[in-house]
Structure 1
Amino acid sequence: MNLTGILEVVRLSDVGLRREHNEDAVASEPEAGLVVLADGMGGYKAGEVASEIAVLTLVSSIRERLLEQPAGKADEDSGLLRESLILRDAVHQANSAIYNVSQSQPQCAGMGTTLVAAVFTDDRVCVGHIGDSRMYRLRGDTFTQLTEDHSLLNEQLKSGLITAEQAKVSNNKNLVTRALGIDPEVELELHEYEVQPGDIYLLCSDGLSDLVEDEEIQLTLSTLSANLELAAHQLVQMANDNGGKDNISVILARPLRPFPAKRDWLGRLTGWFR
C-alpha cells in the first residue's frame, strides 16, 4: 500500500547532554507506512550497533513486501493483518542478526536494543514493541499510551509494590525485561488500532518519557499540532532542559486523510453469485 502524500512523518534523534554517543536509531518509510525507533544498550558503542542493525533490518526486509502485497488482508489462523505478520517476521530476523553479532564479536557481547515500530495500512496501524520505548496517540483532547513497558519498574507498578510517585524516582527505570538481540528468540508484542485522520502518533525512546511528563508531552503536541517539525524539536529541547541524561529520539506521524485498502468489489460480487 502506497501512502505517499497521506502520512506525514517527522523524526529527530539527539545525543542529549551526558552521553558521548547516540545509541538510538530511527527510520521512516512514509511511502510504505513504516516508522521504526530503537534504543540500543551494551558496551562501548555496542548499543549503537544493535539499534542500527534493528532499524536497517526492519526497513530492508519489509519495505518492498508492504508496497507489493494487497493491504488490509487478515491471516486466517491468527486473525492479524498480514502487515503485522510481516513486521513480526522482520523483528525475528533482526533479533537473530543482533544475537549472532553479539556472539561472534567480543566487543559486542551482551548488546541489545528496545524497539517500537508501526505500520500504517487500511485505516489501521499495526504496532509492535519490545522493551520500554513507547508509542502514544493524540486524538483530539485524548492522549493515550498505546504500548506497555516491558520493564522491571512497570512490573512493580502493576503488582502494587510501588506507587506511581515512587516510580518517578526509582533506580530501576532503565531495567527492561525484554530486549531485541539478547536471546536467540524474542517475543514481539503486537496490537492493531483503528486510525483517524488528524491523529498524531508519537514514538519515543525513554530519553523523552523518563524526563518529560505525559501531560507536558500532550500539551506540546496539542499546542504545536500545526507544525510537527517544531513539535519534535520542542520535545527534545524539553528533555534536555530537564537534564538530558540519555539519548532522546522522537518520531511523529500523522495521517492526513483516510487510506482504506482498495477492495475487489467486482470479484466479491462474482463470488457471491457462484
Structure 2
Amino acid sequence: MDVNLNIQKPVVDELQLIVDNDLCCACGQSGVGGRKENQDTYGGVGNIDIVILTVCDGMGGMAGGQTASNIAVREIIKFLSVIPADKICIEDVKESVVCANEAIYKHAVEVPQLRGMGTTATVVVITKKAAYVAHVGDSRIYLIRKGKKVFRTFDHSKVFEMVQQGMMTEEQARQSSFSNIITRALGIRPTVDVEVNTIPYNKGDRFILCCDGIWNTDAEPDMLKLFVSKGTTQEVVNNITKVVNNKGIERGCEHDNLTIIMADMKENSDFQYGIFHNTLERISSHCKIFKRKNGKKN
C-alpha cells in the first residue's frame, strides 16, 4: 500500500538584494535547514560610497541564539552606518563588534532565561579605499579572485587551534565531532577579542560571508567550486543555497541553518598591496617554513 506521508521539506527564504551600486552588487539568502528555527541573521546597507554587510550565527536555547544574532546584526549596522565613508577605519569596524558583544551580554543579564546565548559574527565594510573585515567564531569570510581563494578568515574553534598546531588537517577538523566547539563568540563574556583585516579588492573579486551551515557542507575544494561559479550575484547565491539545502535533505534532513551574503566587486580599491607588503609576506612565509622544518610551532 502506498502511503503519502506529506513530509514538509525545508525551504530557503527568498533571496534579498542588499545593494547594487558602483562599488558592488550584494545579495543575501538564508534558510532554516533541518532545524526547528533559524538562529542565523544577516543584513546590510549601502550607498554610493560604502557598503556594510554582516552575517551572524546564533546559539543558545529559549530563542537565545536568534535573539543574539538579531542584536548583533542590528548593533553592528547601527554603529557603522553613522560614520562617514571617508572617515571609517578598521578600528571602527572592530568597535562595532565590541559594542554588539556588550549589547548581547547586557540583554542576557537583564533576561535570565537568555543567559549563555551567543553568536558568531562576520562583517565586511567596503569603501572606495579598501575592504575592512572582522570576525568572531567559525562563520567565515572569503575573497575570491579570478576563480581562486585569495583570503579566508581562520575559524576561532577548538579544532582549528589543532590545525594551527599541525595536529590535524582542515578536512579532519571539518569532519571532527568537536567541530562545533568555538573558542570565541559574542555575548558570552563582557569583552571579546575581534580579529580584523584591511583588504584591497579588484574589479571582478567576490566577497562571501557565510555561516558553517554553508561552508561545512562539503570539503572546501568542493565548496569553492560553488563559490567561484559564473553567473550573476543573484544566480550564484540561489544556486549555492539550493545545492546546500538539497544535500542536507539527501543526508537525512538534519542540516544546520544556512546563510550567505555574496558581494561582487565592480571596481578596484584605492588601496593596493605594494612591493613592500609583498616582500614582508614572502619573509613571513619563509619564516613559517623554517619553523616547521625545525619542528617549531607557529
Query: Post-superposition shift, 1:144?
Result: 3.4
The answer on whether the counterparts of 2:160 and 2:170 sit within 8 Å (CA) in structure 1 is no
Q: Deviations over 1:6-55 (max 9, x none)?
A: 22101111111x21111000011132311101000111211000000000
Letter in 1 for 2:59: M
The answer on whether the counterparts of 2:22 and 2:267 sit within 8 Å (CA) in structure 1 is no
Q: Give aligned pairs, total.
A: 246
Q: Which residue is equivalent to 2:222? A: 216
Query: Post-superposition shift, 1:145?
Result: 4.2
Aligned ranges for residues 134-153 of structure 1 at < 5 Å?
Answer: 134-153=140-159
Q: 2:204 & 2:146 partners in 1: Cα distance?
A: 8
Question: Does residue 169 of structure 1 match 2:175?
Answer: yes
The answer on whether the counterparts of 1:121 and 1:260 sit within 8 Å (CA) in structure 2 is no
Q: 1:259 & 1:195 partners in 2: Cα distance?
A: 5
Q: 1:176 & 1:239 partners in 2: Cα distance?
A: 22
Question: Structure 2 residue aligned with 1:48, among 53, 66, 71?
Answer: 66
The answer on whether the counterparts of 1:130 and 1:188 sit within 8 Å (CA) in structure 2 is yes
Q: Which residue is equivalent to 2:43? A: 27
Q: CA, structure 1 residues 164+148, in 2 after alignment: closer, same or farther (shift >3 Å)?
A: closer
Q: 1:97 & 1:239 partners in 2: Cα distance?
A: 32
Q: 2:73 & 2:258 partners in 1: Cα distance?
A: 16
Aligned ranges for residues 114-129 of structure 1 at < 5 Å?
Answer: 114-129=120-135
Letter in 2 for 1:36: T
Question: Does residue 10 of structure 1 match 2:27?
Answer: yes
Query: Post-superposition shift, 1:213?
Result: 2.7
The answer on whether the counterparts of 2:208 and 2:262 sit within 8 Å (CA) in structure 1 is yes
Query: Post-superposition shift, 1:107?
Result: 1.9
Aligned ranges for residues 58-97 of structure 1 at < 5 Å?
Answer: 58-65=76-83, 68-71=84-87, 82-97=88-103
Q: Deviations over 1:77-129 (max 9, x none)?
A: xxxxx421111221121111100111121221100000000111234211100
Query: Post-superposition shift, 1:163?
Result: 3.5
Letter in 1 for 2:136: I
Query: Post-superposition shift, 1:164?
Result: 3.8
Q: Which residue is equivalent to 1:272? A: none
Q: 2:85 & 2:266 partners in 1: Cα distance?
A: 23
Q: CA, structure 1 residues 156+260, in 2 after alignment: closer, same or farther (shift >3 Å)?
A: closer
Question: Structure 1 residue aligned with 2:259, among 227, 243, 249?
Answer: 249
Letter in 1 for 2:216: D
Question: Does residue 37 of structure 1 match 2:37?
Answer: no
Letter in 1 for 2:133: V
The answer on whether the counterparts of 1:34 and 1:117 sit within 8 Å (CA) in structure 2 is yes
Q: Which residue is equivalent to 1:238? A: 243
Give the fraction of aligned pairs with identical amino acids, expressed as a percent.
30
Letter in 1 for 2:98: H
The answer on whether the counterparts of 1:14 and 1:248 sit within 8 Å (CA) in structure 2 is yes
The answer on whether the counterparts of 1:8 and 1:30 sit within 8 Å (CA) in structure 2 is no
In structure 1, the gaps of 5 or more residues are 72-81, 262-274
Aligned ranges for residues 185-204 of structure 1 at < 5 Å?
Answer: 185-204=191-210
The answer on whether the counterparts of 1:42 and 1:111 sit within 8 Å (CA) in structure 2 is yes
User: Equivalent residue of 1:185, what SS?
Assistant: coil
Q: 1:167 & 1:41 partners in 2: Cα distance?
A: 20
> C-alpha root-mean-square deviation of aligned residues, in Å?
1.9
TM-score by length of 1: 0.84
TM-score by length of 2: 0.77
Question: Does residue 227 of structure 1 match 2:224?
Answer: no
Q: 2:148 & 2:242 partners in 1: Cα distance?
A: 23
Q: 2:196 & 2:61 partners in 1: Cα distance?
A: 29
